[in-house]
Amino acid sequence: MPERTRKTGALSALFKQREVGLALILVVLFLLVGLRNPAFTTGSNALFILEDTAIMMILALGMLCVLLVGSIDISIAAIMALSTMTAGIIMKQNLNISEVQVMTDGVMGSVTLRESTPLILLILAGMGVGALCGALNGLLIAYGRVLPIVATLGMQYIIYGLSHTISRGQAVYRKDMPDSFINFSRATFLGLNSKIWFMLAVFVVIFIFLTYFRQGRYLYAVGSNRESAAMSGIKSPRTTLLAHIIMGTLAGLAGLLYASRDTKITQDMAMGYEMYVIASCVIGGVSVSGGRGKAVGVLLGALTMGVINNALTMLRLTGNSEFWKKAIQGALILSAVVINVLIQRSKERRVLKDRRI
């Protein structure tokens, strides 16, 4: 008898995971689009979707931390723009193009070398600016007690303004970028694109941080009940600040990857991206009122958004159907969110029923 209970326990525990429901939605969506365009279900397209969504995932993981403490950040697209523009200006100013004679297959040919500030310094600069913006958000919210949505709305205006000011209206193009930065989002390792590796690294770090570190557990504690967290000795403003710094830093990293992929940096880069990131988190089961959410769920949520986007491209809508895309996108996001909630509710009902027995 105890064996059997354990078995059903394991199975129901699996189904109790919110993430399983989401994975099911994903599979159904995937197959439906595959019926229309078989190219959609190929491995290379799946890998492309993952590669394309990686930046969103990095941002969503940062947003997870912010949402966990019951805060929100709608300035992330602006942070991406400012931190990337900072790195862009540095690389543009130090760019050095040289022709080098190289022997290939016994033939002398000239190769253009584009060198600038070392990539690692550019990354540090970008992430540093991001962290600074995040810290400012965090200070306003945690210590200034400005409501998160208002603080980050205001900061969004300010940061976009700053990015415009430092760029003086000039965009940074491929011709201004060193090879190292162009390859930053294009290099592959073990067959996987660097964006996927960066995403995996961020995921592992965030996952370990949230699961095994005391500071990480504090994020949940502060979000679910600020008063009791404070009573048990957790400094909630400090934890909120930390969450925003993480978000800012990751926004800096994501911005650099984004700019490297587009090989273009403009001062209004990624405008409107924040909403899709927040939507990914919510689809992934993160509660916007704080205290609930998992890193795995967030990844699946972002992936759902990526599949929806890619599916709309791969549906081969032409002519007038182009106009349907925007409405379909809204409807899909809404239904993904609603289905997820319904699954969650039925699970909770089952849990209650189990308890009664």
Partner 1 sequence: MKKTLSLVLALVMLLSLASAVLAEEPIQIGVVYKQTGNPFFEAAVRGFEEASKELGFEFIHNGPADSSNEGQIQIIEGYIQQGVDAIAISANDAAGVVSVLQSALDKGIKVVSWDSKVEPEGRMLNIDPSVAQNIGRVQVEEIARQIGGEGQIAILSAAATMDNQNTWIKYMQEELEKPEYAKIELVTIVYGDDLTDKSIQEMQGLINSYPDLKGVISPTTVGVAAAAVAIKDNGLSGKIKLTGLGLPSEMAEYLKDGTCEAMFLWNPIDLGYCAGFASVALVKGDITGAAGESFDSGRLGTKEIMEASDGGTFTLVGDPFRFTPENIDDWKEVY
Partner 2 sequence: MERAISRLPRWMKRWEWILVILILVVYAIFSGLQPENYTFPKLLNQTRVYMVDVGFMALGILVVLILGDIDISIGATAALSATVMAVTYNQGDGIPFIAAIALMLLTGAVCGLINGLLITRFPELFPMIITLSTQTLYRGIAYIILKDQSAGRFPGWFSKDLGYGSFSLFGLDVPIMLVCILAVLPVYYIWLHKSASGRRIFAAGTNLTASRYSGVQTGRIKMAAFILNGIMAALGGFFLTSRTGSVKYTLATGYEMQAIAIAVLGGASTSGGRGSVAGLLLALILMTGLKNGLMLVYNDAFILNLSIGLLLILIVLVPDIAGRIRRQNTVRRQRLTLKKT
Binding site for partner 1 (CB under 8 A): 37, 39, 42, 44-45, 48, 52, 160, 164, 167, 169-171, 173-175, 186, 258, 261-264, 266-268, 270-271, 309-310, 313-314, 316, 318-319, 322-323
44 is in the binding site of which of partner 1, partner 2, none (Cβ under 5 to 8 A by kind)?
A: partner 1
Using CB under 8 A, pick the residue from 13, 149, 204, 208 that binds partner 2: 149
Using CB under 8 A, pick the residue from 153, 171, 296, 315 that binds partner 2: 153
> From the CB of 165, what's the least distance to partner 1, in Å?
11
Per CB under 8 A, does 157 bind partner 2?
yes
Closest Cα partner for 137 from 158, 165, 164? Answer: 158
Cα 177-182-187 angle, rounded to 5 deg = 160
CA distance 220 to 232: 13
Per CB under 8 A, does 171 bind partner 2?
no
> In this structure, is the dihedral angle defined by the CA atoms of residues 221, 222, 223 and 228, taken in order, positive or negative?
positive
311, with CB counted inside 10 A (0-12, 13-18, 19+), is buried
Per CB under 8 A, does 146 bind partner 2?
yes
> From the CB of 86, what's the least distance to partner 2, in Å?
16
CA distance 237 to 144: 10
Q: Taking the C-alpha atoms of 20, 279, 287 and 268 in order, what is their torsion angle to the nearest 10 degrees?
A: 140
Per CB under 8 A, does 147 bind partner 2?
yes
* Stretch near partner 2 under the rule CB under 8 A, chosen from 43-51, 219-227, 273-281, 310-318: 273-281
Per CB under 8 A, does 325 bind partner 2?
yes
* Of residues 15 and 324, the one with the C-beta less far from partner 2: 324
Q: Cα 237 from chain centroid?
A: 24
263 is in the binding site of which of partner 1, partner 2, none (Cβ under 5 to 8 A by kind)?
A: partner 1
Are the CB atoms for 76 and 277 separated by under 8 Å? yes
CA distance 62 to 82: 17
91 is in the binding site of which of partner 2, partner 1, none (Cβ under 5 to 8 A by kind)?
A: none
Closest Cα partner for 123 from 251, 256, 250, 246? Answer: 256
Q: Identify the bridge partners of residue 100 per DSSP, sorted by sequence position.
A: 111
> From the CB of 156, what's the least distance to partner 2, in Å?
7
Using CB under 8 A as the binding rule, the residues of this chain from 54 to 83 that contact partner 2 are 72
3-state secondary structure of 311: helix
Closest Cα partner for 251 from 70, 11, 58? Answer: 58
CA distance 252 to 269: 12
Per CB under 8 A, does 140 bind partner 2?
yes
Per CB under 8 A, does 273 bind partner 2?
no
Per CB under 8 A, does 287 bind partner 2?
yes
Q: Residue length, the chain?
A: 357
**Using CB under 8 A as the criterion, which residues of the chain lie in contact with partner 2 when the complex forms?**
72, 140, 144-147, 149-151, 153-162, 164-165, 267, 275, 278-279, 282, 287-289, 320, 323-331, 333-334, 337-338, 341, 344
